[in-house]
Structure 1
Amino acid sequence: MTLEIEQFACRDDNFGILARNKETGTVFLVDAPEEAAIMRAIERTGWKPDVLLITHHHPDHVEGNLALKQRFGLVIIGPEAEKSKIPGIDRTVKDGETIDVAGEPARVISTPGHTAGHVSYYFPDSGIAFTADTLFALGCGRLFEGTPTDMLGSMRKLAELPLETTVYFGHEYTLGNARFALTVDPTNSALRERSERIGKLRAENKPTAPTTIGEEMATNPFMRWHDPAIRRNLGMEDASDEAVFAEIRKRKDLF
């Protein structure tokens, strides 16, 4: 693995990401939730970023764009579908495109649902994915602009990544996600064990990120729409994948 990751808290519950390629020494950011927190991370590490990858247009992911661009001359890269809503954007990307980021290939994965043009970035050489507000630990983003079918499609794409892929996500929502997950998948022993670990981490004010694709496949109900136990618990044994996923999302919205 060539990427070093500095993860830090921003705003109330956002994660910030500063990443450095150990071989080239080049640095990039993933989203810009808050200039002050990002500047503290840069000063702490001494890593000065050249690139800012944007996953989607929501203010808590682009608030620092222009200030950071002015400070560092950053190249801002973001989804083509949301270019008009991303401050300072220089380059757009689309699903399936592979770009060079800090000397390492990054594959762009269109992951709509939370927003219509949301993208995730997968770095195969380092085995890392940045999924922002699509895939959380034990959850997925609210459907502000997309449909359950859109988000299900995004989950299916991410499920195709290697199980060992390390996943960095956008918000510290994991404790609440765990409590909800147990309501739809109460007999899952791996989930119960993970929920206990999460409770201990949060009691110590420690982050729950990153996770892995494998861990989410085993415990995240939004990646387990096909699981017979969840379907039985929902009374939807013979329902379509789309219907099961939509029901889980609806229940989470009301939780």
Structure 2
Amino acid sequence: MKIQIIPCLKDNYSYLIIDEENNIACVIDPSEAEPIIKYLENTQIELKFILNTHHHYDHVGGNKELKEKYGASVVGYKGDKERIPEIDILVSDEETWIYKNFVAKIIHIPGHTLGHICFYFYKNDLVFTGDTLFSLGCGRIFEGTNEQMFNSLMKLKDLPKNTKIFCGHEYTLQNSKFCLTHDKNNQNLKNKIVDIKLKLKAGFSTMPSTIKDELECNIFLKSHNVKTFSKLRDLKDNF
């Protein structure tokens, strides 16, 4: 399975998951259609599915155009069927969604929004976390509660340590500053920051991270209770 990282808008990422055996692809959270089309137009890859982690426009903005152009089916959480444009396939928490070599467990991870899900391609050790878990951070809480976000992060925290994380935005360097402020003696974090800066300087994405990296470096995953997490989330909102 090949992952193509596609920058969109100002700092969003969409991801093409390419099944090279069958020459088909899914796109995760197409903020806009044009960069996806630009990548696909010189290939023989057929876009079959659009997978949405949540309903925010910067994650679904390309749904309509991509569906019209390629006939792709939109997959999203059943609780957001009224909010995800062009939705075709409704998925539920703990369901396994399968199409040929695409096999993803759906995990409901509310907090940022009430209908937020991630797509965990467990056979490939990949998870697409949208705006819930960022590298060295977590999403703002717009619709849910601190407790919901904490519990959602705990679900992700329990995934195998070698799982690669692909999140919705390039926030890693800014997130690292907050982590370092509250975890000054973390050598793993300092090493990761060096790597982040080298990647960005070379024009690369900081994705993917891994569950192992985030357990070692992400201050939010070091929270052991809702109270600690809530304090950190409030501090980050005003950082």
C-alpha offsets along residues 159-210 of structure 1, whole Å, 9 cap, x if unaligned?
Answer: 1111000111110001100011101111111011111221222223321011
Per-residue displacement from partner, 1:124-174 (whole Å, max 9, x unpaired)?
111111111111110111101111111111111111111000111110001
Where do 1:146-157 residues align within 5 Å? Answer: 146-157=144-155
Identity between Structure 1 and Structure 2 (%): 39
Task: State the 1:44 CA deviation.
Answer: 4.5
> What runs of 5+ residues in structure 1 fail to find an aligned partner?
227-240
CA gap of 1:178–1:23, structure 2 versus 1, over 3 A, is same
Task: Tell me the distance in 2 between the aligned counterparts of 1:43 and 1:191.
Answer: 39
Q: State the alpha-carbon separation in 1 of the partners of residues 132 and 50 from structure 2.
A: 18
Aligned to 2:197: 199
Stretches of structure 2 that go unaligned for 5 or more consecutive residues are: none
Contact 1:4 1:21 in 2 (8 A): yes
Letter in 1 for 2:231: E
**How far has the Cα of 1:45 moved from its partner?**
4.2
Which residue of structure 2 aligns with residue 237 of structure 1? none
Q: 2-side partners of 1:140 and 1:42: how far apart? A: 31
Render the CA deviation track for 1:99-127: whole Å, top value 9, x for unaligned: 10443321000011111110000111111
TM-score, length-normalised on structure 1? Answer: 0.91
Aligned CA distance change for structure 1 residues 247 and 44 (closer, same or farther; 3 Å): farther
User: Which residue number in structure 2 is paired with residue 246 of structure 1?
Assistant: 230
The amino acid that maps onto 2:19 is N
Which residue of 125, 131, 134 maps to 1:133? 131
Aligned residue in 2 for 1:172: 170
> What amino acid does structure 2 have at the position aligned with 1:201?
K
* Residue matched to 2:62: 64
Q: 2:46 aligns with which of 43, 48, 53?
A: 48
SS at match of 1:41: helix
What's the Cα RMSD here? 1.2
Which residue does 2:75 correspond to in 1? 77
Runs of 4+ displaced beyond 3 Å: none
Inter-CA distance 19–45: structure 2 relative to 1 (3 Å threshold): farther
Q: Give per-residue Cα distances to partners, 1:215-246, cap 9 Å, x unaligned.
A: 101100111113xxxxxxxxxxxxxx100000
**Aligned partners of 1:16 and 1:33 also within 8 Å:** yes
> How many pairs align?
239
